[in-house]
Amino acid sequence: MKKVEEKNEIKTFYSKDWPSEKVGEQDYELLDTGEHQKLERFGKYIFIRPHEDAFWEKTLPKEEWDKADGVFFASRKSSETKGGWKLGKEIDLSWDMSYKDIKFSVSPTPFRHMRFFPEQATHWDFIEKKIKESKRKIKFFNLFGYTGIASLFALRAGAEVTHLDASEQTITWLKENQELSGLEGLPMRVIVDDALKFIEREIRRGNKYDAIVMDPPKFGRGPKGEIWKIEENLPKLLSQINKILSDDPLFVIITSYAIDSSSLSLGYALKDMMKNHTGIVEQGELGILEKSNNRIIPLANTAIWEKN
């Protein structure tokens, strides 16, 4: 019998709970897409951000798009146009949102992001459900953890959490989100470090994890200037992560916004990494349900291994 059962189809993963049934001021909505842009509501504000894969025409009329409180313009290599935000005068510097009672602070960042990725809500649901159903103490590792919403769902579910990111700013935002959600005092270790260097130390220390989530960037720098390039470093990362898995792992999730190839590539890499453990690998696209015409807009590649 094969240890890893592989489902070769490409799935679409999305949360049906954005927005909630009773749409409130803290909800997220993907209102429309088209002409290389997306129109989104983050709480009480509406923004236009680039979405290069939206080759189609917009569904909503121009007057709906003109209501946006802010627009992010991408830099153009063909000109001297510098990208960045053009925001309305009435926008707060930051505001709070929530998903299933996990609260987090939101604001437009210089990199077009809003401090969280709403399409990852389906992973947050999966993480909390699997940890609760396990009926055992789970050691959870969030690698490239950003502002930590996945970590907070794991923490609320009862896991012992290790959260790592190379950016001190995002760690500050994580701590703000933990306080907003009322989860202070629970077992979460927060680390600012280079991913590979930290894992190598964990190997030497003999530390093991039952559940691992990672969202490696295309390019990045560690706190001491370490260079990360996904094409060069991802194979080594997966090899090293394999050495810190417990004997009875619960799940592993990889998400990538940086790889042009199919999500099948992530699935194959994850299957190879988990070949000594019995489980199922699925791969596909993370998406959001678009309000204007009820279609799912893909935004990232992902692969999931779970114990069966």
Distances from the Cα of 111 to the Cα of 64, 115, 122, angstroms: 25, 10, 23
Asked if 119 contacts 189 with a C-beta cutoff of 8 angstroms, the reply is no
Question: What pLDDT, on a 0 to 100 scale, did the predictor assign at position 193?
Answer: 94
Asked if 186 and 155 count as a contact pair (C-beta separation under 8 A), the reply is yes
What does the pLDDT read at residue 220?
Answer: 62
- Integer-rounded Cα radius of gyration of the chain: 19
- Cα dist from 35 to 49, 51, 53, 101, 209, whole Å: 11, 8, 9, 34, 43
| Cβ–Cβ < 8 Å for 123, 302 | yes
- Report pLDDT digits (tens) over 183-228: 999 999 999 999 999 999 999 999 999 999 999 877 566 666 666 5
The total of other beta-carbon atoms located within 10 Å of residue 37's CB is 20
Cβ(73)–Cβ(112) below 8 Å: no
The number of beta carbons lying within 10 Å of the beta carbon of residue 4 is 18
* Average pLDDT in the chain: 92
Assigned token pair, 80: 């001297």
Measure Cα distances from 188 to 86, 196, 236, 241 in Å.
Answer: 37, 20, 26, 19
Specify the DSSP class assigned to residue 259: -
* 19 prior amide bond cis, ω within 30: yes
Q: Which of 154, 218, 152, 205 is nearest to 181 (CA)?
A: 152
Lowest mean pLDDT among 81-85, 116-120, 220-224, 299-303: 220-224
Domains and CATH numbers, the chain: 4-14+117-307 (3.40.50.150), 28-106 (2.60.40.1180)
The distance from CA 103 to its chain's CA centroid, rounded to whole angstroms, is: 16
Residue 29 has pLDDT above 70, yes or no: yes
CB distance 70 to 85 below 8 Å: yes
Residue 130 is predicted with a pLDDT of: 98
The reported pLDDT for the residue numbered 224 is 66
**83: which 2 tokens?**
């990208």
Q: pLDDT for 246-265, tens place per residue?
A: 999 999 999 998 766 689 98
Please determine, for residue 69, whether its predicted confidence score (pLDDT) is greater than 90.
yes
Question: Which alpha helices (H) appear in 14-66, and where do they start and end?
Answer: 62-65
Residue 79 has pLDDT above 60, yes or no: no
Residues 272-282 as b or e (16 or more Cβ within 10 Å = b): ebbeebebbbb
What does the block give as tokens for 214?
């990672």
19 contact partners, CB below 8 Å, separation of at least 6: 27, 28, 29
- Ramachandran quadrant class, 150 (left: phi over 0; alpha: psi -120 to 50; beta: rest): alpha
